[in-house]
Structure 1
Amino acid sequence: MTATNEPAQLAEHAAQTLLSRFNLTKIDLALVLGSGWSGASLELGETIGEVELAELPGFAKPVVAGHGGTLRLARTSAGKVAAFFSGRTHYYEGRGVAAVVHGVRTAAAAGADTLVLTNGCGGLNPEWGPGTPVLLRDHINLTAATPLTGATFIDLTQAYSPRLRDLAHQVDPGLPEGVYVQFPGPQYETPAEVRMAKVLGGDLVGMSTTLETIAAREAGLEVLGISLVTNLGAGISPTPLDHSEVIAAGKAAEPRLRGLLAGLLERL
């Protein structure tokens, strides 16, 4: 097939390539595994097959350590076909918004109707220490970007599905909920920016997720967002921020995250 720059056509091409490769007619749900989450997804479901993301049309190898780079298809205990995206393209990579949301659009084109977006983030609430998973109830997009083009008016009143959040609470009743604030990155936020995010109503700060959520809602996907607090935000944390902390916090939280994902897959 001739290469195309049209996002919808490229997503359709990637979806058909994926389905054909594993002899599937559709997938049912997709999970994007952010910083700290990939290890928690291992061995969940019965593996159908696995492919390097860079082998699929429109995808590139993740550039950040700890972000994986594979897509695993598995059949869940509920009999659904789930796509686990271990790795994502971030806005700060400079490849454009279409590349950032290509995985979401590919999942939708492959038939998914449910999307679980996860990330590692900085926490603004001192009570949510590193290793705390937090459900997203809303977001603030500070990238000044959008995956939408033209007069495409998408309602984001319930961008993060109340129904899916209720399911998550059934699995782990102790999950708090918060508002995620996406900064462009790749530099970590300054203490002043963290204070600003808090004044705006934010509870979590990071560099992903909101653009994917917008694209998912445009495609009609029901979205569940879950952040893993990997560190306290700048000015709240007593030590300078370090990416190795992000990876370490994810590793330490794996048992709880695995239980959460396993319980969700039983219900989705």
Structure 2
Amino acid sequence: MTNRLQQIRETAAYISAKMQLKPRAGLILGSGLGVLADEIDNPVTIPFGEIPHFPASTVAGHAGKLVMGMLSGTPVIAMQGRFHYYEGHSMQTVIFPVYVMRELGVETLIVTNACGGMNRSFAPGDLMIITDHINMMGDNPLIGPNLDEFGPRFPDMSSAYTPELVSLAEEKAEQAGIVIHKGVCCGASGPTYLTPSELAMLARLGGDAIGMSTVPEVIAASHCGLKVLGISCVTDMAIGEELEPLTHEQVVAVANRTRPRFIALMRAIIQEV
């Protein structure tokens, strides 16, 4: 058994001992969006720092907790916060929780993030269903020995974002009267925000939004056979020709204002997965 596989199983065993239900859906909640975990009924909460092989979260807007329980009738396990490449973690650490969730029995992964909107039809506070991504992080989390127990050496990425879940999210948004976009999310390593020229390049390449997370997690989820839904909250406009200074505090503030629509949409989706 590889050391990495052993660590995944040790972590899963630790969490499993504290769980009351087997989770069907896993949630990774980004900056300002961790409030969804507060909606979980009869929650069991574990700080990241107490979980074997989990580092502590260092980013403002990320509570750094694992929360398990029932959400809209579905057993879930939710990360209030995530691990980022820009924090100095290896890509293997960034995606580690995805494999742990798979080991615990999760079938569907819902990833959320705060992002900059490069599509001129977007506005701060909008929600976007991710239909595809462009990996501009300069790394791939599957480089290195393959975890054969979870997936193939060369995983297909043609439907990394499960089309049926994209359609479900569209349907639930329409039913709730929530305006929602679809688009391609570009993943950058951070921690700097991108320059005007970099943003203009990515927009020309087909990117609709830009963020510093999600892409590695989705690659890992595809590798281990999970169904995936990605939802982005557009917290600012990242248009190269019109770029204005931005702070992380602004990003979190806009994500917080989107809270009611985000929670309503996520509850409706999770009820069906």
Give the TM interval when normalised to the shorter protein. Answer: over 0.9
Cα displacement (A) at 1:8? 2.5
- Aligned residue among 33, 37, 46 for 1:37: 33
- Aligned residue among 91, 112, 117 for 1:97: 91
The one-letter amino acid paired with 1:175 is I
- Equivalent residue for 2:150? none
- The answer to whether the 8 A contact 1:33-1:87 is kept is yes
Q: State the secondary structure of the residue aligned to 2:161.
A: coil
- Aligned residue among 243, 251, 262 for 1:257: 262
Instruction: Please tell me whether residue 115 in structure 1 is matched to residue 109 in structure 2.
Output: yes
- Equivalent residue for 2:211? 206
Cα displacement (A) at 1:238? 5.3
Distance between the aligned counterparts of 2:244 and 2:195, measured in 1? 13
1:20-56 residue CA offsets vs partner (Å, 9 max, x unmatched): 02344x321100000121124422x312311101111
Q: State the secondary structure of the residue aligned to 1:21.
A: coil
1:136-169 residue CA offsets vs partner (Å, 9 max, x unmatched): 0000001121121357101000000011111111
- Equivalent residue for 2:56? 61
- Aligned residue among 175, 181, 189 for 2:180: 175
Q: State the secondary structure of the residue aligned to 1:172.
A: helix
1:213-264 residue CA offsets vs partner (Å, 9 max, x unmatched): 0111111100001111011115355531111111110111000001011111
- Equivalent residue for 1:192? 197
Structure 2 residues not aligned, in runs of 5+: 147-152
Q: State the secondary structure of the residue aligned to 1:63.
A: coil
Structure 1 residues not aligned, in runs of 5+: none
TM-score (norm. length: structure 1): 0.93
Q: State the secondary structure of the residue aligned to 1:49.
A: strand
- The answer to whether the 8 A contact 1:101-1:147 is kept is yes
Distance between the aligned counterparts of 2:239 and 2:247, measured in 1? 11
Cα displacement (A) at 1:59? 1.0
Q: State the secondary structure of the residue aligned to 2:170.
A: helix
Distance between the aligned counterparts of 1:29 and 1:131, measured in 2? 25
- The answer to whether the 8 A contact 1:22-1:48 is kept is no
Distance between the aligned counterparts of 1:219 and 1:8, measured in 2? 13
- The answer to whether the 8 A contact 1:189-1:234 is kept is no
- The answer to whether the 8 A contact 2:200-2:239 is kept is no
Aligned pairs, number: 262
Provide the aligned C-alpha RMSD in A.
Answer: 1.7
TM-score (norm. length: structure 2): 0.91
The one-letter amino acid paired with 1:160 is Y
Distance between the aligned counterparts of 2:253 and 2:225, measured in 1? 35
- Equivalent residue for 1:134? 128
Cα displacement (A) at 1:5? 8.1
Go from structure 1 to structure 2 and tell me whether the alpha carbon gap of 1:65 and 1:171 turns closer, same or farther (over 3 Å shift).
same
- The answer to whether the 8 A contact 1:194-1:234 is kept is yes
- Equivalent residue for 1:51? 46
In the TM superposition, 1:70-81 aligns within 5 A as 70-78=65-73, 80-81=74-75
Distance between the aligned counterparts of 1:77 and 1:244, measured in 2? 30
Q: State the secondary structure of the residue aligned to 1:101.
A: helix
- The answer to whether the 8 A contact 1:234-1:240 is kept is no
Distance between the aligned counterparts of 1:236 and 1:62, measured in 2? 34
- Equivalent residue for 2:155? 154
Cα displacement (A) at 1:13? 1.2
- The answer to whether the 8 A contact 1:108-1:219 is kept is yes
Distance between the aligned counterparts of 1:256 and 1:237, measured in 2? 27
Distance between the aligned counterparts of 2:89 and 2:118, measured in 1? 29
- The answer to whether the 8 A contact 2:161-2:227 is kept is yes
